[in-house]
Structures are given as C-alpha cells and as structure tokens.
Amino acid sequence: MTNQVKQLLDTSSRCAISFSNIDSFPLKFQEHLWSLLCYLRDKDIKWTNGELATSDSMVSTILYTIENYQLIAHRLGTVTPALTEIALQFETTERYNGKKWDEEEEDFYEDYETFYAFTWLREVPEDAVPFEDYATDFPKFYLPAEPEEKLDLSALTMKFKR
C-alpha cells in the first residue's frame, strides 16, 4: 500500500478521511484516531479553531459525543441509530485576526491568516477516504515530541550531591 492518505494531506486543499465501525471496534477506532492525530501534530496541522491536533478538549469532545450520541438524540426526542462512523475534513481556512495598526502607513488594516486545518463531521461525505484501508502506513504509537532544548543539570547535581 502506498501512503495515499499522507500524500492526500500534503497535496490536497480539501479532503475528508472517514473512520467506520466506531461502535463495533471502539478501541481500534481510538488507536486509528490517535495515530492520525499524532501524525497531524507532527505536521503542525491544527483544528479549525487553532488548537493542536492532539488537544485534549477537542479529542474529548469527539469521544464524548460518540459515547453519548444516543442519549443526546433521546433527550431531543429523536430516534436515531448508533453513530457508526465519523470523518475528519481537511481544508484551507481563513481566520480573521482583527484590525492591526500599520506604523508605516499610520492606519489600521484587517489581518487575515490562511492555514490548513481540520474539523470533524458526524456525516461522512461520499468522497471520504477510509482510514482503515491505510492505517498500516501510520505507526500505532507515537512518542511525544522531543523538546527543542535540553537542560544540562550536571553542575547543579554535583553541587548538591553528598
């Protein structure tokens, strides 16, 4: 298998990746979801609201919604089947950062930032690429990102060592 998902993320301005069998294999779903999110974190692709891909609040929202989908639907008075699949939609997004002061022109200007981001969808688009077919391209477990600097505490350790 090729790295079609990775290539799609690197070259496409808009795409969707689907995860299915959420209710049948919840642990496999979480393993796949986390492997993709860690890859996105390493590539510096963020959620649409600007949070990191592995943000606890955003991932918790997805998992909470999946777990409580039927309960929420019941409270709203609708009868709905279990949530069996979701999708992550990737697209180039533009965010308004407010008005900024330009010292050279001595005037305000509107600042926009364009970036590649993703959000999650309960309804899977027809053109979504199934992640399960390409899950072998992603490592199962990622190590946390290495810090940019390492502190040398050897002198301090020698000073207080008895």
pLDDT in tens, 93-105: 777 778 888 888 8
Confidence of residue 2 (pLDDT cuts 50, 70, 90): very low
Nearest to 47 by CA among 144, 115, 140: 115
Calculate mean pLDDT across residues 73-102: 77
Confidence of residue 70 (pLDDT cuts 50, 70, 90): low
Q: Per-domain residue ranges for the chain?
A: 4-142
Q: Which amino acid is at 5?
A: V
Distance CA 13, CA 101 (A): 31
Distance CA 115, CA 50 (A): 9
7-39 pLDDT, tens per residue? 877 777 788 888 887 777 778 888 888 888 888
